[in-house]
Structure 1
Amino acid sequence: MENTGKKKSIAQRFLNGIEVFGNKLPDPFILFAILAVLVIILSAIFNMAGATVIHPGTGEELAVKSLASGEGLQYILTSMLDNFTGFAPLGLVLAMMLGIGLAEKVGMLDYAIKKTILKSPPALITYTVIFVGIMGNIASDAAMVLVPPLAAMVFYKVGRNPIVGIAAGYAAAGAGFTANLLIAGTDALLAGITTEAAQIINENIVVTPVDNWYFNIASVFVLTLVGGLVTNKFVEPRLGKYKGEEVEEAVAEDPPKAGKALRNAVIAGALYWGVILLIIFWPDSPLRNEEGGIVPSPFLDGIVPIILFFFITIGTTYGITVGNIKNSRDIGKYMGESMKDMSSYIVLIFAIAQFIAYFSWSNIATWIAVNGAEFLKDIEFTGIGLIIGYIIFTALMNFLITSGSAKWALEAPVFVPMFMQLGYHPAFTQVAYRVADSSTNIVTPLMPYMVIALSFMQKYDKKAGIGTFISLMLPYSVCFLLTWIVLILIFFFLGIPFGPGIDPYL
């Protein structure tokens, strides 16, 4: 509960201070515009100081170029549109969201999430809520709004504390962005930014959306178990039985053919992947490499279009069956609606693309990467301890910048090239970033969905406040972070690939 008229604890004052400071930060678009201007100023200073660096790939000596010079001004003006339209994450994410957005807009994803939770056996409710919350990130942020109230309703109806359901649902949905059995839009977004950063050092490196897939799959099952244990052993015993006022729970009626539509969508999805597998294993398949293997292969290179058509297939099947898609124009309409939801992302990408391009063109990124790596070697801080330190650093950064894409766009141009100089694969650095970012999403008071989840909680406890909410999220956050660090260590030391053909080292 929030304390009124009482002296606040150190933790409360710390979180309040973070909230005040974080709220004073500009909008991410303005933040990256400011950072782009800062790069221009720094490039001029470095240039006047005569800063140079040996490119690790070509051995060429590079001078830091000034963006404030005539050459720099020409670059800024002539490259602006190319920086934006050629920015790798833009096409990847928009393509993914055409398919995923269609499945969401016709109601398929919401219905699947709701039915999975509502039909869960009472003994498995906790683990089902955690699993669905994690998997819900396929619908992006929608899971953080949809899962907590559904979980509360189910907990309440079986005689358990509904606030526990809200806590479990929000924790899973908020921390689940690094875990999924499927390839999601987040995978495409982060892979694109990582590729842009990695190509500062090696222009031939490409990080694909499947490069963290094996780790993501393992994370789903490990986090489901850990999240369930935290809920049953810590959160629920602490809250005890629900003693609040009786609450009337109502479930919105589903479309008459929703069940049949979901069944048809599953059948259509299975047939789709059956055809893909048939093509892959067909003799001399065009989706395999010249040696007949899958890693690397045209199949992995084309995974985004393949997943796009998968979601179009199941979304269209569901929409036709349920009656939301009556003609071909409706498909385009729903896709268009999903693109409207991406408008703020497109605006942000414009600023991010300029920042990264200026950082790379000026050679500041290479200078920082090479000199930073040399410094870490000099102090002999280059092993797995460095990665864990980076995870903790990023977890704390989450208290100031909650947007996962914005924070990675800020960190990737610095840490990806630097860690490449130490021999680490860009996709491995990306894994470290993802576990750090995901684990503290749920405890930062700057996360906009926290207010929404708190309003759900106040339905059952009108005295609940931010302090109440964060105290419930903290056990999940700490346990998820520690679990993920252990999981990274297991993958690292046992040599388990993080994705197809992806090891920690280059």
Structure 2
Amino acid sequence: MSDHQPKELNSGILGWIERTGNRLPDPVFLFLWLILFLVIASVLLSSMGVSALHPTIKDSAGNATVIAVSSLLSAENIEKLFVDMPKTMTHFHPLGYVLIVMLGAGVAERTGLFSSAMRAGVASAPKMLLTPVVALVAMIANLAADAAYVVLIPLAGILFASAGRHPIAGIAAAFAGVSGGFSANLLPGQLDALLFGITESAVELLVPTWDANIAGNWYFIMAMTFVFLPIIWYVTDKIVEPRLGKFNAKESTIDISAEDQGRLSEQQRKGLKRAGLAVLAVIAFWVYITLGPGTPLIDESAVATAQLSPFYKSLVAGFFVMFLLAGWAYGSAVGTVKDHRDVVTMMADSMKDMAYYLVIVFTAAHFVVMFNWSNMGIILAINGAEFLGSTDLPMPVLIGLMILIAAMINIFVGSASAKWAILAPVMVPMFMLLGVSPEMATAAYRMGDGATNIITPLMFYFPLILAFCQRWKPEFGLGSLTAMMIPYSIWMLVLGLLMTMTWIGLDLPLGPGASASYVLPGK
């Protein structure tokens, strides 16, 4: 670290963000404090008789049912808290989705498949297309989770340096793709499973029979990829790199000639070919069991709009099988998998990496379920929907406000799942009452969540990116990194807002079987 960095950390808006964010507790204890607040609020609002008319549940006379705030200190709720504690955690919707996908993704990561695939994606890029290739691979590399930060971002710096360009510009482009384009991708993945599990819990406040479709944002995240790609390309080449000036290799602690610049061994290339064949085999198998004899993944007895529901639900298993077999095929070629025991060990190790997530799940699950027990979430949603409806603001404007709220909160609370667990129980039902689908609400949240990732020092990997930059320029400080990433953040947020507002304005589908608009059952 340079000598002047403490001054940067403690001055101006960056210092205020740093100090304010550091006062926030760990997400685990954040949820515990929120639970305490819930308990106090539920007691007060229950004693005041706060209530609302449920829009979908009718009594025997056909009248709307009155729902009132329930005190979390009532005998019934205290009993549920302690008796249902194991069920509260294990029935938390994102948990099963994420653990299953991670069992397969953990194998793909530990065999080296993700690392080699990222290297292959950027190493052979022509110099004139180096920036867009790095940006595209960075956004796709979100499927690899942590590996994208640890492997691709420093590799991008080396590739830029070897091409005679400023290495920190390469780091910036990769960081913008991996973190700013956090939700952008060509395929659904772990994040989709995580967020839609939380969305499902929120939807069930109004529609208990609703099932999550992890492909519900597929078209939207693909569009994000191609909207963000030219932004990263332009900002890197026209704004960031000119400001960095000419790179002085003497300042660097890295000998470029001694670095692995992304070249793959013959075994790694063979492994990638095997992994590609495994992916094609899984896709062919899924097509067969969807369209083949008996159509196992099509419910032909359901109405037309629901016939593909089994297929959508099977995608979690599909991604698990695809990652598992592709990782196994790659590992058998490069020697990281010698027999089935290695695969089992890798799956077990991937679950070790989820230990912290499981601790967060325990508190997040209780926050969500207690919010539901209190009825405060649905009452806030109903009253909020009535208020927003009375403003006569166009729906694209309301969705835009939601994006800005998510972007602002993201500066102080880095975890995507933690923020969505807090916002979803109110935002999702509220927008459903206004005619916006759960998939559209989730998409809007994702757009706001990513744009400010790259400018907050509280993002988990921010210090790591700073360290990568300081390998090339030792005096590069936290303020320098934030200032460098601000243009990406602004352009992503502005064009992301326009994209999302246009999407809902035109009522475009967000994914297979997922529309932007929504009509409550019975209405």
Task: Give the TM-score normalised by structure 2.
Answer: 0.92
Residue number in structure 2 paired with 1:196 = 201
Alpha-carbon distance in 2 for matches of 1:226, 1:63: 48
What is the match of residue 93 of structure 2?
Answer: 88
| Preserved contact between residue 42 and residue 374 of structure 2 (Cα < 8 Å) | yes
d(CA) in 1 for partners of 2:259 and 2:294? 52
1:492 corresponds to which of 504, 516, 523: 504
Q: Which runs of 5+ in 2 are unaligned?
A: 58-63, 519-523
TM-aligned CA distance change 1:70 to 1:7, over 3 Å = closer
* Per-residue deviation, residues 371-397 of structure 1 (Å, max 9, x unmatched): 111122233336211111111111111
Conservation of the 8 A alpha-carbon contact between 2:448 and 2:493: yes
Superposition deviation, residue 104 in structure 1 = 0.3
Output the amino acid matched with 1:337: D
How big is the shift at 1:255? 6.2
Q: Secondary structure at the match of 1:236?
A: helix
User: Is 1:268–2:275 an aligned residue pair?
Assistant: no
2:479 aligns with 467
SS in 1 for 2:247: coil
Give the Cα separation in 2 of the matches to 1:397 and 1:206.
Answer: 28
Partners of 1:102 and 1:86 in 2: CA distance: 25
How many angstroms apart in 2 are the aligned matches of 1:254 and 1:201?
Answer: 52
Conserved in 2, the CA contact under 8 Å of 1:255 and 1:322? Answer: no
Give the structure 2 partner of residue 18 of structure 1.
Answer: 17
Q: For residues 33 and 146 of structure 1, do their structure 2 counterparts lie closer, same or farther at Cα, with a shift above 3 Å needed?
A: same
Distance in structure 2 (CA, Å) of the matches to 1:2 and 1:407? 33
2:267 matched residue in structure 1: 257
Q: Retained in 2: the 8 A contact 1:22–1:400? A: yes
Aligned pairs (5 A) from 1:77-476:
77-245=82-250, 247-249=254-256, 250-252=258-260, 257-282=267-292, 284-290=294-300, 296-381=308-393, 383-476=395-488
Q: Give the Cα–Cα distance (whole angstroms) in 2 for the partners of residues 20 and 2 of structure 1.
A: 19
Q: Deviations over 1:224-271 (max 9, x none)?
A: 222111111211122222124164023358666111111111012112
2:56 counterpart SS class = coil
Give matches, 1:17-56, under 5 Å: 17-56=16-55
For each residue in 1:456-497, what CA deviation from the matched residue of structure 2 results, as whole angstroms up to 9, or x when unmatched? 111111111011101110111111111212221332233320
CA 1:5–1:210: 2 relative to 1, 3 Å: closer
Kept in 1, the 8 Å contact 2:42–2:69? The answer is yes
Contact 1:2–1:466 (Cα < 8 Å) also in 2: no
Say which is worse superposed, 239-248 or 266-275, in terms of deviation: 239-248
The letter of the residue matching 1:83 is T
Whole-angstrom distance in 1 between the partners of 2:492 and 2:236: 12
**How many positions carry a matched residue from both structures?**
505
What secondary structure sits across from 2:52 in the alignment?
strand
In structure 2, how many angstroms separate the alpha carbons of the residues matched to 1:91 and 1:455? 35
- What amino acid does structure 2 have at the position aligned with 1:251? E
| Cα pair 2:8 2:14 within 8 Å, conserved | no
Distance across 1 between alignment mates of 2:127 and 2:48: 68
In structure 1, C-alpha distance between the alignment counterparts of 2:84 and 2:283, rounded to whole Å: 40
Residue number in structure 2 paired with 1:67: 72
Partner secondary structure for residue 205 of structure 2: coil
Once residues 8 and 418 of structure 2 are traced to their aligned partners in structure 1, the CA distance between those partners, rounded to angstroms, is: 32
* Distance in 2 separating the partners of 1:5 and 1:340: 35
Whole-Å Cα distance in 1 between the matches of residues 389 and 288 of structure 2? 49
Contact map agreement 1:369 1:415 (CA 8 A) in 2: yes
Q: Which moved more, 1:303-312 or 1:231-240?
A: 231-240
C-alpha deviation, 1:435, in angstroms: 0.6
AA in 2 matched with 1:229: Y
The change in CA–CA distance for 1:318 and 1:195 in structure 2 (over 3 A counts) is same
Q: Is the 8 A contact 2:54 2:66 kept in 1?
A: yes
Any unmatched runs of 5+ in structure 1?
Answer: none
Q: TM-score, normalised by structure 1?
A: 0.95
Q: How many Å separate the matches in 2 of 1:340 and 1:5?
A: 35
- Worse-superposed segment, 254-263 or 310-319: 254-263
- Whether the aligned pair in 2 keeps the contact of 1:207 and 1:426 (CA below 8 Å) is no
The Cα shift of 1:76 comes to 1.1
Deviation digits for residues 212-233 of structure 1 (CA, Å, limit 9, x no counterpart): 0011112122212221111112
> Does the residue aligned with 1:496 lie in a helix, a strand or coil?
coil
Deviates more, 1:306-315 or 1:242-251: 242-251
| Amino acid aligned to 1:123 | M
Q: Partners of 2:200 and 2:35 in 1: how far apart? A: 19
Residues 111-161 of structure 1, C-alpha deviations (whole Å, 9 max, x = no match)? 111222122121211011101111111011321222221111011111111
Q: Distance in 2 between matches of 1:128 and 1:310?
A: 24
Residue 419 to residue 149, structure 1, CA distance change in 2 (3 Å)? same
Q: Distance in 2 between matches of 1:82 and 1:296?
A: 29
Calculate the aligned-residue CA RMSD, in Å. 2.2
